[in-house]
Structure 1
Amino acid sequence: MTVYVDADACPVKAEAERVATRHRVPLVLVSNGGLRPSANPLVEMVTVPEGPDEADRWIAERAGPGDVVVTADMPLAARCVEAGAQVLKPDGTALTQANVREALAMRDLMTDLRAADPFRQGGGRSFGKADRSRFLDALERALRAARR
């Protein structure tokens, strides 16, 4: 069992490390660089080459049953769910076989809407304390479930 974090823009890296450490589970932070190394022996920092989707590709090639993946990237989430991993968004939302295709379709729709109207930017809500709390709870539950 491993926790993989798509770490470049992840707002819950510290929270993921805290929960993974409590469960004594390896945590792999995957990024294009620029992350401060952790002294925690359970944390591995993986720096992938610059380029679109390199971190996603690295995670998708390794994640599988028993693993937990933390990402806001819907194509990566879909690949990891298909491979049998549990997937959590940074706000604690679980992505499963039942909802990942819908989330991917919504992402594609929003991309198309933004492309059609260059003045339509943002619109997402800000990340707050309640999101962090939901993530901590969701990761705790995911790691307990993976142990069974």
Structure 2
Amino acid sequence: MQIWVDADACPKVIKEVLFTVAVRRKVKTTLVANSHLSVPSSPYLDFIRVGAGFDVADNEIVELANSGDLVITADIPLADKIVEKGATALNPRGQLYTEENIKGLLRMRHLMEELRSGGMVSGGPAPLGARDKQDFTNQLDKFVTRRLKEEE
């Protein structure tokens, strides 16, 4: 098992949770971004810097992720590709993307894009709050615990 992080847009507080979990639970965690990020020194933490461009980091994650891995992203199209590969995706608010919900979430995303471009809806999601961090941490812990037991 490995954790991959779509790190360009990942909130700092979520990265800090991931750093802690990676070191304490000894889970290889790789952040992928097109800009430089500071990652604590640990054999369980790594950083891959990709070139600039649309979806370059996403494409790298899709290429590297394997079945059984976890990808942290709020990018629903990326999550769809990850789920198709047999991996699991989790957003920073603690929502798991699964075979059962990803297509509906993609449709909702496209609808919201159309409404925004038509001026019917403005704005985006609310800022990440303490409840979101707790939900994320709980889902991450459940996933890591389950996968580590499966690997024993």
- Give the TM bin, normalised by the shorter chain: over 0.9
Question: For structure 1, which segment, 67-76 or 9-18, has the greater mean C-alpha deviation from structure 2 after superposition?
Answer: 9-18
State the structure with bigger RCO (CA 8 A, min sep 6), 1 or 2.
1
SS at match of 1:79: helix
Match of 2:85 in 1: 83
Amino acid at match of 1:4: W
- Separation in structure 2 between the aligned mates of residue 29 and residue 121 of structure 1, nearest angstrom: 31
Match of 1:61 in 2: 63
1:123-142 pair list within 5 angstroms: 123-142=124-143
Amino acid at match of 1:86: T
Question: 8 Å contact 2:89–2:98 — kept in the other structure?
Answer: yes
| 2:95 aligned with 1:93 | yes
Q: Percent identity?
A: 39
Match of 2:45 in 1: 43
SS at match of 2:47: strand
- How many positions carry a matched residue from both structures? 147
SS at match of 1:49: coil
1:7-46 pair list within 5 angstroms: 7-11=7-11, 12-46=14-48
SS at match of 2:127: coil
- Separation in structure 1 between the aligned mates of residue 40 and residue 56 of structure 2, nearest angstrom: 22
Deviation at 1:17, TM superposition (A): 1.5
Question: For structure 1, which segment, 138-147 or 3-12, has the greater mean C-alpha deviation from structure 2 after superposition?
Answer: 138-147
TM-score (norm 2): 0.91
Question: 8 Å contact 1:19–1:136 — kept in the other structure?
Answer: no
Amino acid at match of 1:28: T
Structure 2 alignment gaps of length 5 or more: none
Amino acid at match of 1:2: Q
Match of 1:6 in 2: 6
TM-score (norm 1): 0.94
Structure 1 alignment gaps of length 5 or more: none
Deviation at 1:123, TM superposition (A): 4.1
Deviation at 1:41, TM superposition (A): 2.1
1:88-147 CA deviation, whole Å, 9 max, x = no partner? 010111110000111111111111111111x74314222101100111110011112222
1:107-118 pair list within 5 angstroms: 107-117=109-119
- Separation in structure 1 between the aligned mates of residue 96 and residue 139 of structure 2, nearest angstrom: 8
Question: 8 Å contact 2:72–2:92 — kept in the other structure?
Answer: yes
